[in-house]
Structure 1
Amino acid sequence: MANKLISQMGLPPSLSHIFSARNILTAKDALSLPEVDLMALLDIEIDLVRSAVAHISEATCPPFQTGLALLEEKMKSGGHLSTLLPGLDNALCGGIPFGALTELVGPSGIGKTQFCLKLALLAALPECYGGLNGRVIYIDTESKFSSRRMIEIGEGSFPQIFRLQGLAQKMAGRIIVTRPTSISEFNDSLQQMKLTLLQNEVKLLIVDSIAALVSWDNEKGTILSRQSPLRGSLSFLKSIAEFSQIPVVLTNQVRSHSSDDTFHYIFQGHRKDTSNSERSESHLTAALGIQWAHAVTIRLIFEAHSGHRFIKVAKSPISPPVAFPFVVESSGITLLNQEGISVAGSEINAIRCQGCNVLTQ
């Protein structure tokens, strides 16, 4: 908007010609000068300058919206992909939101891919069975995608549906799997799929996992910074979610934290002095850093402690922090408690993984 031409803003022709004659062509040219300097440069009265600046400002600035208008727009264009986990769906006000980035964080083997396979299946199912009846792009960076496991989840979740001849094959045929081995390949594959994404054929995009690409590039020595190669990818993923109004789900790994400066909010209160084992658990943190954490809209932490695995809603603009114990069955993830357990203080962002593998960095 700053580069919008003054000649197209509806100023009186005589005044517009004066701006043009002094080589003040865009809104940025006019608004970056003090009114006194602009008066001297244009050789016109200060009242006329102020009137012109007010007109240019109004034409340049985007229109304001009320909170009610934003809410109505969100209700009209928004939506959710149900996880078929009632407690989690209720906590997220419907499920995985359209038009936003949802991140799944947790150690290897905790259940993130199982969660993604179920989401892929749900997005591909016909609408009459509660699905989105669309294609799914599944970017599988660690070769963990399994068509056989996805069909097993489908047979366990929808036995009456998957008895229909050919439905399992049809569902699998709607899921497009790519396996890039670097950030550059990842970006190239997204660019190639842009048209398909924007034509509303795709109802879900999954990246499992984004951290693996960065780790491999670091090992190859092809990049110097963990953040810079992701900046373009992150921006593109957000634009896909917003313009296509589809859910984008990304899995992230955890890494060990060697010091006591674990990411911590002041409102979470002071952390208590804990034993070495507890301190070791609390030093697990999501990979990719703070910049990435701020970019995602929803963060679900997968962790294990006290003899159970948990899905924890750690970040959401509409949901309080809550954790749900779960198990992995033939039908996928099943919650053991639909009510959830309230989470507060430092536990909101803590990642515990008793007996699980941890990516060390």
Structure 2
Amino acid sequence: TKISGFPSSPPVAGVLPAAEMANKLVSDMCLPPHLAHLLAARRLTTAKDVLSLPEVELMSLLDAGLATARDAVCRVSEFACPPCQTALALLEERVRLGGGGRLATTLCGLDEALGGGIPLGKLTEVVGPSGIGKTQFCLKLALLATLPECYGGLNGRVVYIDTESKFSSRRMIEIGQKSFPQIFRQEGLAQKMAGRILVMRPASLSDFTKRYIFPTLNQWIVEG
């Protein structure tokens, strides 16, 4: 991510959200006293204040030369942005911190490739050509999420946003009967699991926010 507003400044790579980097306070950056006082006097209090200004405007505002303006940009960039990291370093950090658990898909090859299943607490995108089985896979994941923990599930609830009207209760039951016959033979358990899946079919984004987010989804979460 390049946060500097100057084309001549070197890019600074990082992994923090842009808003978090931009809102870092200049007063917390341990800048040289003369530079800190100069920026404070001009009410440049955050990294965004300094780095979003054109070079000429910053020179004029600081009443300083090009060297001083560029020095301010470089120093603020160093404090505002995290250091460069390799992909290996990011992977090692993720392993060290732990992934927060995974939901096994019961597909051995896929679970092995994913390191145990779908990671929890993260956004996972399933991509593939038409007819490859993405919808069937999502139906199975919905069942797995509502499955009792003693059977390897999460015993949770699911919000299924169906923008293509492809959700099929009948197909989901068929998948459940084939994948988890011991569960679907228990009277009432399949109905209980199905009751934990909220299916939404919004016609548009505005329809989704107006009709479902407020108040349907909020009420469903509270009641749950």
TM-score by length of 2: 0.64
How far residue 56 of structure 1 moved from its aligned partner, in angstroms, is 1.9
Question: 1:116 and 1:125 mapped to 2: Cα distance?
Answer: 14
Q: Is the contact between residue 161 and residue 201 of structure 2 (CA under 8 Å) also seen in structure 1?
A: yes
How far residue 59 of structure 1 moved from its aligned partner, in angstroms, is 1.7
**Does structure 1 residue 124 correspond to structure 2 residue 131?**
no
User: 1:56 corresponds to which letter in structure 2?
Assistant: V
- Cα pair distance change 1:11/1:89, threshold 3 Å: closer
Aligned to 1:59: 79
Aligned to 1:89: 111
Aligned to 2:195: 173
Question: 2:140 and 2:61 mapped to 1: Cα distance?
Answer: 67
Aligned residue for 2:175, secondary structure, equals: helix
Aligned to 2:39: 19
Question: 2:136 and 2:153 mapped to 1: Cα distance?
Answer: 18
Question: 2:59 and 2:145 mapped to 1: Cα distance?
Answer: 57
- Cα pair distance change 1:29/1:121, threshold 3 Å: closer
User: 1:135 corresponds to which letter in structure 2?
Assistant: R
Aligned to 1:103: 127
In the alignment, structure 1 segments of 5+ residues that lack a partner are: 202-361
**Does structure 1 residue 71 correspond to structure 2 residue 71?**
no
How far residue 78 of structure 1 moved from its aligned partner, in angstroms, is 5.7
Question: 1:40 and 1:185 mapped to 2: Cα distance?
Answer: 47
Q: Is the contact between residue 55 and residue 69 of structure 2 (CA under 8 Å) also seen in structure 1?
A: no
Tell me which of 174, 178, 186 is aligned to 1:152.
Answer: 174
Q: CA-atom RMSD, angstroms?
A: 3.9
- Cα pair distance change 1:189/1:95, threshold 3 Å: farther
Structure with the higher strand share, 1 or 2: 1
Aligned to 1:135: 157
- Cα pair distance change 1:8/1:121, threshold 3 Å: same
How far residue 128 of structure 1 moved from its aligned partner, in angstroms, is 1.8
Deviations 1:14-35 (A, max 9, x none): 6433223335444344445659
Tell me which of 184, 187, 202 is aligned to 1:162.
Answer: 184
Structure with the higher helix share, 1 or 2: 2
How far residue 117 of structure 1 moved from its aligned partner, in angstroms, is 1.7
Aligned residue for 1:171, secondary structure, equals: helix
- Cα pair distance change 1:10/1:158, threshold 3 Å: same
Q: Is the contact between residue 39 and residue 49 of structure 1 (CA under 8 Å) also seen in structure 2?
A: no
How far residue 10 of structure 1 moved from its aligned partner, in angstroms, is 3.5
In the alignment, structure 2 segments of 5+ residues that lack a partner are: 1-20
Question: 2:64 and 2:113 mapped to 1: Cα distance?
Answer: 62
How far residue 63 of structure 1 moved from its aligned partner, in angstroms, is 4.2
Aligned to 1:113: 135
Question: 2:93 and 2:159 mapped to 1: Cα distance?
Answer: 27
Q: Is the contact between residue 105 and residue 111 of structure 2 (CA under 8 Å) also seen in structure 1?
A: yes
Number of equivalences = 195
How far residue 194 of structure 1 moved from its aligned partner, in angstroms, is 8.0
Question: 1:119 and 1:20 mapped to 2: Cα distance?
Answer: 54
Deviations 1:90-119 (A, max 9, x none): 444444454222224314xx6443332222
Which segment drifts farther, 67-76 or 173-182? 67-76
User: 2:193 corresponds to which letter in structure 1?
Assistant: M
Of structures 1 and 2, the one with the larger relative CO (CA 8 A, separation 6+) is: 1
